[in-house]
C-alpha cells in the first residue's frame, strides 16, 4: 500500500495551519454509482433511473452526494498523510457544491485550517479545509473535516 501514497504519514505535531495536500484524480464511473446505489440503498431516481435522469436538466445519472464524499475519503487515504496517525474522524461539515457525472475525475485538496492540542497528551484535533475538484477545476464538494490525530512518540493509532 505505502508505495502508492503521495505523502509521508504526518503526526499531529507535523501539521500546522496552511499546510496543503493534494491527491487525485479518481474517475467516477457509472459502475461506481450503481454499486453505491446497492450498498447505500439510496435508489433516488436521479442516481438509479437512466431514463428518468435523461429528461432532467443534467441529462443523465448523477453520483450520490454521499458517493462523492466516499470518494473523497478514499483520496484522503491515498494521500498517505493519515497512515497510522489518524485515530478517528470526529465530524465533517459538507457542502455539495456541484453535481458529479460519470466520467468526472476528482481531485482532493486538504488544507490544515486549525489545530487543537487539548484533547489528550497523546493526540490532538486537526481541522482540514476540504475541497474536491472536478477535471475542470470546479469545486464539487467542500467543507471542514475535524480529525483526531496521534502525536509524535505516541503508540500507533488505535492501540
Question: Which string of x and - marks every residue 18-57 that binds a second copy (by CB under 8 A)?
Answer: --------x-----x--xx--xxxxxxxx-----xx-xxx
Question: Which string of x and - marks every residue 140-159 that binds a second copy (by CB under 8 A)?
Answer: ---x-------------xxx
Q: How far apart are CA 37 and CA 40, in angstroms?
A: 5
User: What's the closest the beta carbon of residue 42 comes to a second copy, in angstroms?
Assistant: 4
Residue in 21, 61, 63, 64 binding a second copy, rule: CB under 8 A: 64
- Give the side-chain half-sphere CA count within 13 A for 156: 2
- How far, in whole angstroms, is CA 32 from its chain's centroid? 16
Q: How far apart are CA 77 and CA 71, in angstroms?
A: 10
User: What's the closest the beta carbon of residue 73 comes to a second copy, in angstroms?
Assistant: 5
User: What's the closest the beta carbon of residue 87 comes to a second copy, in angstroms?
Assistant: 9
Residue in 73, 102, 119, 151 binding a second copy, rule: CB under 8 A: 73
Diameter of the chain by CA atoms?
57
- Residue closest to 157 by CA, chosen among 3, 2, 10: 10
The partner residues of 151 in beta bridges, in order of sequence, read none
Angle at 24 between CA 47 and CA 135, to 5 degrees: 60
User: What's the closest the beta carbon of residue 69 comes to a second copy, in angstroms?
Assistant: 5
Binding site for a second copy (CB under 8 A): 1, 26, 32, 35-36, 39-46, 52-53, 55-58, 64-67, 69-71, 73-78, 82, 84, 86, 88-96, 143, 157-159
Amino acid at each position: 500500500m505505502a508505495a502508492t501514497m503521495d505523502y509521508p504519514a504526518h503526526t499531529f505535531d507535523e501539521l500546522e495551519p496552511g499546510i496543503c495536500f493534494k491527491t487525485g484524480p479518481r474517475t467516477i464511473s457509472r459502475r461506481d454509482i450503481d454499486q453505491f446505489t446497492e450498498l447505500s440503498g439510496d435508489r433516488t431516481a436521479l442516481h438509479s433511473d437512466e431514463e428518468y435522469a435523461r429528461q432532467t436538466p443534467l441529462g443523465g445519472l448523477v453520483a450520490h452526494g454521499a458517493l462523492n464524499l466516499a470518494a473523497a475519503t478514499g483520496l484522503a487515504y491515498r494521500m498517505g498523510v493519515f497512515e497510522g496517525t489518524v485515530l478517528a474522524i470526529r465530524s465533517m461539515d459538507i457542502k455539495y457544491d456541484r453535481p458529479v457525472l460519470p466520467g468526472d475525475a476528482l481531485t482532493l485538496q486538504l488544507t490544515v485550517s486549525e489545530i487543537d492540542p487539548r484533547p489528550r497528551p497523546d493526540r490532538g484535533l486537526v481541522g482540514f479545509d476540504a475541497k474536491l475538484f472536478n477535471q475542470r477545476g470546479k469545486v464539487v464538494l467542500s467543507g471542514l473535516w475535524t480529525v483526531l490525530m496521534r502525536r509524535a512518540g505516541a503508540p500507533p493509532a488505535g492501540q
